[in-house]
Chains A and B, each alone.
Chain A
């Protein structure tokens, strides 16, 4: 018998007590939940467009074209841009590339995808006024050769 009734009428149930204590313990992680929202870089100051060719991307070298513009859609020239491409799985070799300005506000870089699957490209840009800009975009479904 799991529960016994005391003289006062309250149930002195070991199962209920254990449940209550465990529930209290189980609630601890819930404290983390409100703090778990992600910071999203939603700065409206800059506009970055990207394009990958070939499309869809394949294993091997691909060209990443970036167009940087300010809030007034004026091209941003003279930025220094470094790219880092990572796979969605940890432990895979990241690949790196530096973008060159090929037209005002338009930059191109070559990166070599070593494996099929989903890649994430991290963009680290240093703007002419010294501001740093970091963006991330997905390159899904890179096809095998």
Chain B
């Protein structure tokens, strides 16, 4: 916020709509092109922008800055416009104030992505985007505050998990200023003194700034920045991942170590990263064919279901359960098995993020320039070839260069996970931290080796997984 120009922009009350508007326009263009444009995915803006550029830029921005995509979220702009007409009346049900729904949706999107080969279908990609807009309208049309962002949005949960490793955070500058503050506008909203109506919203995700720790659940919406009468909240730099090392009481979240749903998110985030990459390499087809033969099924859904169950339930249960058991038995840590798994599951988030980075940046960088011919073609199809004839030979960076970057991300993720799990082990077993650390380091090593193996597998992309 001290950066000239950028600081003024973010302090400006309408900074968010300004950033959201271009993304909303792009989203509408993607929907229209997905529905009415070319059926071939590499020629369509919906698929090219969704599965290459959006995902690639998303993870790189999360790595280099923070959760700025939630800040510029076009769905929230539509929600804000819709809320002029529909005033939500209900509070999100207490029983659902957790991440279980969003984790289930996260898994569902990964599953549907593989089952229906969304990357190859502009039509379904367009409907996915349109469906997202509709879901936002329905959820936030009924329920107050940012219920969709906090409890439903699977992209948001992905961003929350990844942004724990971002170098920037929305937080207070001086705690003393907050101690003497009586109005607490950052959470309650700034009110008009005469009418007592809220004129600037406070945090819709129930994050009370003085007690907020880290980026979890923070959409960078900057409501708190605008509401604070003391200009005491900003986007400040920090050491990435530090919030995973500690377990304080977090405003709007509670203790990480007591949140099984958040641990499930961390597990799905990490193991899902491997699974998502596994779906794009040759061995997966051999596995699918073998499973299909064993089960005597030709439909992909049950086979894919089994693969998902193995990757997202069995494998984490065995690996993390075994590590937790060893930590108790060998490291002498006096915690029950499940709380140990929950506590250390946050330690594997850097590994997962490394894998997402490696995977998405591969597609993004190797297909970086494809947006040029696809846009040229889309404009030309309107009858005005203003941008010239499509240059279909434009693709991106050479794969061998990108592969070096991928390895770098994987190493970075591995190192991050080792640092976090070591930090947790030091806290749990100050006398013999190595004994508590080694089981988790082994899990990290295994996952990292699996990631490296996946990265060096020949890619294979099919729109028909069970063929052959």
Contact = CB atoms under 8 A, between A and B. Distances in A.
Interface stretch (A17-25, A47-55, A62-70, A72-80): A17-25
B389 interface: no
Contacts of A105: none
Contact of A117 (B40, B48, B86, B462): B462
A46 B377 CA distance: 26
B42 A18 contact: no
A91 B52 contact: yes
B86 A92 contact: no
Contact of B82 (A25, A89, A92, A96): A25
Contacts of B86: 18, 21-22
Nearest to B47: A90
A91 B138 contact: no
B123 interface: yes
A25 B86 CA distance: 11
A141 B467 contact: yes
B463 A88 contact: yes
30 contacts: A18-B88, A21-B86, A22-B138, A25-B134, A25-B141, A29-B130, A38-B39, A86-B40, A88-B462, A89-B41, A89-B51, A89-B280, A90-B48, A90-B52, A90-B370, A90-B374, A91-B52, A91-B364, A91-B370, A92-B42, A93-B366, A93-B395, A96-B392, A96-B393, A115-B458, A115-B459, A122-B40, A136-B40, A140-B462, A141-B467
Contact-residue bracket for chain A: 35 or more
Tell me what chain A mostly uses at the interface: helix, strand, loop, or mixed: mixed
Contact of B464 (A87, A115, A141): A141
A22 B86 CA distance: 8
B367 A88 contact: no
Given A90-B42, A91-B48, A116-B459, A18 B141 contact: yes
B163 interface: no
Interface in B19-42: 35-36, 39-42
A118 B42 contact: no
A61 interface: no
A120 B137 contact: no
B392 A94 contact: yes
Given A25-B82, A86-B40, A118-B461, A91 B89 contact: no
B464 A140 contact: yes
A141 B468 contact: yes
A36 interface: yes
A60 B138 CA distance: 50
B458 A84 contact: no
B460 interface: yes
Contact of A94 (B42, B282, B366, B463): B42
A26 B134 contact: yes
B166 interface: no
Contacts of A128: none
Nearest to A143: B468
B120 interface: yes
A104 interface: no
A59 to B, nearest CB: 8
Contacts of A90: 41-42, 44, 47-48, 51-52, 119, 367, 370, 374
